[in-house]
Amino acid sequence: MKIVGIDPGLKATGYSVIDNDRGKVGLLELGTVSPKSKDGIPEKLQNIYQRLNDLIDKYNPEILVLEKIYSHIQHPTTIGTLGHVRGVICLLCAQKKIRLVEYSVKRVRKSITGNGNATKVQTQRIVFNIFNLDNRQMSLDASDATALALGYVYMSKRLI
């Protein structure tokens, strides 16, 4: 079963594709979509849409795991921006008939690290160890996306 994890953002959207084959979890691809800062919102959304559409066409995943929106009181406009990106991702799921699953950051980090309050860096280290990577191969956005996909596997007990 192929699973895509996505950590949405207008400046950087992390993505990861893993394959869970009878308890063996393998990393197929990970990366970050980083639209040009000079582009407007429509162009950034188009860029994110196209890159993720190409990724989905390449791997034909069954599940897409998306990070739930978290709004911080000091950054209230973030929720609107994330809503735009999440809308594009939800549209892709509908168009491609992919099951959409949403998890909170805390829930995913608890499943991966054992601590829902683990930092991005702590989560990244665990992901590094699981897939035998180093930090030059993975942005924090991509490691969060990978954690989302792994979290789905762990929480749904699909290792067996």
160 is a domain residue: no
pLDDT at residue 81, as a whole number: 80
61 is a domain residue: yes
Query: pLDDT grade, residue 135 (50/70/90)?
Result: low
Enclosing domain of residue 53: 2-155
33 is a domain residue: yes
Mean pLDDT (the chain) is 90
25 is a domain residue: yes
Mind listing the pLDDT tens digit for each residue in 54-91? 999 999 999 999 988 766 666 666 777 888 999 999 99
3-state SS record for the chain: CEEEEEECCCCCEEEEEEEEECCEEEEEEEEEECCCCCCCHHHHHHHHHHHHHHHHHHHCCCEEEEECCCCCCCCCCHHHHHHHHHHHHHHHHHHHCCEEEEECHHHHHHHHHCCCCCCHHHHHHHHHHHHCCCHHHCCHHHHHHHHHHHHHHHHCCCCC
14 is a domain residue: yes
- The residues carrying an active-site annotation are 7, 67, 141
Domains held by the chain: number:
1
pLDDT at residue 157, as a whole number: 73
CATH classification of the domain holding 83: 3.30.420.10
